Amino acid sequence: MRPIHYLTASAVAIALSACASAPQAPAWPKADLASAAASVNVDPAANIFLAEWTGPYGGVPAFDKMDLNALKPGIEAGMAMNLAEVDAIANNPAPATFENTILALEDSGRALGDLFTYYGILSSNMSTPEFRAIQQEMAPKLAEFNSKITQNEKLFTRVRAVHDSAALKKMRPDQQRLVNLVYDGFARNGATLEGDAKDRYAAINQRLAELHTKFANNVLHDEESYVTYLSKGELGGLPESLVAAAAAAAEERGRKGKYAITNTRSSMDPFLTYSTNRNLREKVWRTYYNRGDNGDEWDNNALIAEILQLRDERVGLLGYDNYAAWRLEDRMAKTPERAMDLMTGVWRASVARVKEEVADMQAVADTEGANITIEPWDYRFYAEKVRKAKYDLNSEEVKQYLELGKLRDAMFFVAGELFNFNFTPVAEGDVPVYQEDVKVWEVTDKTTGAHIGLWYLDPFARPGKRSGAWANSYRTHETFNGNKTVLVSNNSNFVKGAPGEPVLISWDDANTYFHEFGHALHSLASNVAYPTLNGGVRDYTEFQSQLLERWLPTDEVINRFLIHYKTGEPMPKDLVDKIKAAANFNQGFETTEYLASALIDMKFHTVDPTGIDPDAFEREELEKLGMPKELPMRHRSPHFGHIFSGEGYSAGYYGYMWADVLTADAAEAFAEAPGGFYDKKVAKKLVDYLFAPRNAMDPAEAYRKFRGRDAKVEALMRDRGFPVTEEN
């Protein structure tokens, strides 16, 4: 089942899925969906958000026909339809079986799931004040709807009957895993509660839905509202590409003749790297890191305090000591203590490296007579100077070989070599898109030509689009009711250049581009039978995407695709050698800023949150950790959307580090193979065990099948250039 990620708790995953068609010969009573929708005066066929997907490739979303006026009625009808399906399953007089209960649930919620494909686009890619008003109104209603499913006693009784039956042991391994995942989805989300506790659990979920939505919209408000406009005389040090992009961004905002540094990482990061105006660097830095923390009506601190209190109360109803203990129970880490042990072991080495990096930067500043002490807004600027001095490596020179289109071709090449995928552009107009910059490719098998799915790309930043980079699945693979092909997207926030100008990006951004494409490949490679098994274990699902980053610096990619955007000449060997020599440069900064966020996330969710002041807590806990004053957390708490705009990463941001242990260890498997990173035998094991099974196999078992053993943390330390000690 493909879970719908619009709600605040993982409970939603147990009953909703979103693929195109119903089974041809159902082994269970079917609900009258038309009547259910009619009960709220909606015709599903006439509502664009509920209408069946039509057109080529097994049907595609009608992104070009979205109408906000139809959204709220569509949600209300979708909920009514799904509840009718659930009631039909729960009230089935026949004894509960795998087919009439578990598979019936797998087949439920498809219309609502399709609606939330559109909803995700409206929320993340093209948000408006009108949409946000609907979102805020519907969030608690959706949480209430979800509770009606997870707390349906008759339904849970049937699920438990299948889970506890002797028949379970006779099922295929993937079917057993499906039953266990569905059962746990109920049991871990309040299905076992009774009376007042059950009512309170549902009420908490409704309030959290409101708070998470408000938090996300507050951050988006600050990203849209706080823009730094520069005059021509304030562009000192900025590369031509950034100046052109800033001019275009200003003109788009009605400020022609000015230069806009938008309040997103993709704009902030290069400005801090190159601007020679220290006062402006400080202003841009503070604007970015104060998102959600400006003491106004969009300030998120009070929301954080209430979110933490409610999460703690909710898991207390289930008998857990703290939120993190509940969250990690079904993750690879299993306990907060294991996650903390990993992070603190790496933390010591990363902080020590930061001290070395700051000393190098301070020496450069002193030599130049800058008469400053390195501050957070200086870190990127002087790190770039150190990079040039130590490695003779100029980031702006590297960017000349990192053109967005060529990098996309490089990703397609890697997908062809490892997965046997071929990407062919879909003619404009053949598949509907929601914005003119969005392009679509058909993915097929290189050998057989068989259709696998579609890949959508939305690469550029714009007002109404949340910052960052992410992947979405519009339709996941299943063979449960025919072979459903995949619809998947990658979304970035690269700064669009002037018309006709190439988009050149940094090495770090190129890594992120490959990373998110890894998520897309994980969806495209799926061979699971049931929609739910397309889900994942959070501290494992980042592994596949992090691993794909390792193909960017391979010789095959560098020599064929990293070519100068003007001359067409390949990247010279001496520049390649400098990049590889500097692979671990600034690793102290990168690791420490990430770990600070991951550690604070875990600390927020393991303490008693009564009366907590989030700003003070963040500051005091970082001081206890020995956080270097020269850099901030990657995501300060008031804009830490990973953990406070929903619950996908809450008490789970450590997962990137957990996954990176697997990544470093798996990368060594390729490095040791005769064919290196393109070794066919290792690549086949990669696809067979680490990508195709999705969540149909326990992650630890899957990794052992790939590697022949568990991953070793020493690989991570070697990979980052940190010393390997007994404390790691």
Distance, in Å, from the CA atom of 645 to the CA atom of 649, rounded to the nearest integer, reads 10
Angle between helices 538-548 and 507-524 (to 10 degrees): 120
| Amino acid at residue number 501 | E
Find residue 425's DSSP bridge partners.
441
What b/e sequence results for 345-373 when a residue is b if at least 16 CB atoms lie within 10 Å of its CB, and e otherwise? Answer: bbbebbbebbeebbebbbebbeeeeeeee
Tokens 């290792």 map to which residue? 682
Q: Torsion over CA of 317, 321, 327 and 329, rounded to 10 degrees?
A: -110
Angle between helices 538-548 and 655-672 (to 10 degrees): 40
Check if the beta carbon of residue 351 is closer than 8 Å to that of residue 722. no
In three-state secondary structure terms, 14 is: helix
Segment 545-548 long-range contacts (CB within 8 Å, at least 24 positions apart) = 545/471, 545/515, 545/516, 545/517, 545/518, 545/519, 546/515, 546/518, 546/656, 546/659, 546/660, 546/663, 547/518, 547/662, 547/663, 547/666, 547/667, 547/690, 548/414, 548/514, 548/515, 548/517, 548/518, 548/521
As a whole number of Å, the CA-based R_g of the chain is 25
CA distances from 548 to 458, 596, 664 (A): 19, 25, 11
Angle between helices 587-604 and 655-672 (to 10 degrees): 140
* CA-closest candidate to residue 417, choices 553, 517, 557: 557
Distance, in Å, from the CA atom of 583 to the CA atom of 576, rounded to the nearest integer, reads 11
Reported as type and span, the H/E element at residue 454 is: strand 451-460
Catalytic residue among 76, 106, 516, 618: 516
Tokens 């770090």 map to which residue? 508
**DSSP letter assigned to residue 553:** T
Number of H helices, E strands in the chain: 28, 7
Active-site residue flag, 329: no
List the Cα angle 76/535/488 in 5-degree steps.
75
Distance, in Å, from the CA atom of 48 to the CA atom of 236, rounded to the nearest integer, reads 50
Check if the beta carbon of residue 156 is closer than 8 Å to that of residue 191. yes
Distance, in Å, from the CA atom of 471 to the CA atom of 523, rounded to the nearest integer, reads 10
Active site residues: 516
